[in-house]
Structure 1
Amino acid sequence: MQELIRQKLLEIEKEHELKVLFAVESGSRAWGFPSQDSDYDVRFVYVKKPEWYLSIDDKRDVVELPIDETLDISGWDIRKALKLFRKSNPALHEWLASGIVYRDELGFRAELIQMRNELFSPKTAMLHYLSMANGNYRKDLQGDHVRIKKYFYVLRPILACEWIEKYRTNPPLLFQQLVAELVTDADLRREIDELLHRKMEGDELDLEPRIDVIHAYIDDRLERLSACASEYAGSMPDQTARLDELYRRYLRLAWPE
């Protein structure tokens, strides 16, 4: 599959006249809880030729391939990525933390990783993960019987919020690391570990009775985190000049001719 993904990226470069600066896995595979039939969520940042940016009209700054049962591939233009990085975009922070890397060109990804802590806003990240947890909870975990694999898509953002609350830093990408560090209740840990084992072994994990100990934890944390999220400071130093220089430099590096 990795070879197929790399080939798709080469095809994207040729068809759209761009250069991929880095491409990584996102979603459940990067988070550490894929099922045997999980698709591949590939995300990348690219740079177009200099003349593409010299236009009086705005242009589409996203490249997306049609999604199929196996592959979901999309990418952001470098300017879009850096604008979002300036705002501490949590999705881009996760791409930079991914341990599954398909392409890594010219050192761009390494430079952004070095800047991650300077461009991290605890408030932005907390509100992002809290919104994700609340939305997934309302959508997937109501009633006496739930699709219990959906617990992971509520637990992970809640644990990310707890990490931010405790350390004021970017939360780890891997679900297992968050659990090991933050889940101290033995009954809760046992239920989470059993669900994780079943999911990764290929159990369907379809509709089943709700798991009370996990539900109680989710209810408690969502209420508490929602109450304190607004207290976080949201300001960061303005890094526009630094990011402008980064953009211009990688435009030259990608297209030296």
Structure 2
Amino acid sequence: MSDVRQQIEEQLRTIEKEEHVRILYACESGSRAWGFPSRDSDYDVRFIYVRPVEWYLSIFEKRDVIERPISDMLDINGWDLRKALNLFRKSNPPLLEWLQSPIVYRENYSIAERIRDISPLTFSPKSCTYHYLHMAKGNYREYLQGDQVKIKKYFYVLRPILACEWIEKHGTMPPIEFDRLVDDLVPKGSELRAVIDRLVERKRAGDEMDYEPRIHPINEFLEGKMAYYERAAAGMQSADGGQVEQLDDLFRSALKEVWE
């Protein structure tokens, strides 16, 4: 991991130099952050960056993402801070997940922590539940129907459905780590818990986990929960979309902190 971490740091420095930006925050966002990488899992690096003040003083819309081609196990891309703050105002789940990733590659400035501090003010249970429900339904439809299913894809439906449960139970952004979701929401000693724990063990051990017979207890659980949250999400609370002045202040202070 230390060698890969050095490669990631090298890539981040190269991006800063080539793009004339400063990277405010960088983290892991994929299965490694969830806690169950495969042996051949990519490193999914996501970052937030800021450009010089003059770049923002323009009448033209400009590209606000930086993407690098996937190579050598690295998948690296990032969002401009202004884009990130606009998505944050809308309670964007991927961004909120980045900010609580257990694997942080860089956090040299105060902006990420300041965004975390106000995240309860912008969090929308309704929009986040719809996000995770949409993810679960799409992956279920694509991978988990039929007698033989792509077994490792259970994680890509279980995790968003458990995220929906967390939101309903706690009213907060769910943790990114799969183990924390399972420990909080799936009773120990239950049949469902036993089959999930076995899947996690197999994935961490590097089992191939390709097409196998469907696991009926998990399918029944997922189908029931998807139907339930299809109904329940509509009645959940929305964010008010405010805090515009506060986010403007955050943006301006970040520019000062970085460039002055």
- Report TM bin, short chain: over 0.9
Comparing 94-103 and 116-125, the one that deviates more: 116-125
Percent of residue pairs identical: 54
Cα distance between partner residues in 2 of 1:141 and 1:167 = 28
* Aligned-partner SS, 1:46: strand
Match of 1:51 in 2: 54
1:16-165 equivalent positions in 2, closer than 5 A: 16-68=19-71, 70-165=73-168
**C-alpha deviation, 1:68, in angstroms:** 2.6
Cα distance between partner residues in 2 of 1:167 and 1:235 = 16
Cα distance between partner residues in 1 of 2:107 and 2:162 = 29
1:153-232 equivalent positions in 2, closer than 5 A: 153-184=156-187, 186-232=190-236
Q: Deviations over 1:123-179 (max 9, x none)?
A: 111010000000110111111001110000000000000011111111111111110
Kindly tell me the number of residue pairs found equivalent between the two proteins: 256
Q: Which runs of 5+ in 2 are unaligned?
A: none
Matched residue type, 1:239:
Q
Matched residue type, 1:114:
D
Cα distance between partner residues in 1 of 2:138 and 2:227 = 14
Match of 1:246 in 2: 250
> Which consecutive aligned stretches of 4+ in structure 1 deviate over 2 angstroms post-superposition?
none
* Aligned-partner SS, 1:170: coil
**C-alpha deviation, 1:237, in angstroms:** 5.5
Matched residue type, 1:85:
F
Cα distance between partner residues in 1 of 2:150 and 2:236 = 33
**C-alpha deviation, 1:69, in angstroms:** 5.3
**C-alpha deviation, 1:36, in angstroms:** 1.3
Q: Is the 8 A contact 2:89 2:241 kept in 1?
A: no
Matched residue type, 2:171:
R
Q: Deviations over 1:47-82 (max 9, x none)?
A: 001111111211000000001350110000000000
CA-based RMSD of the aligned residues comes to 1.0
TM-score (norm 2): 0.96
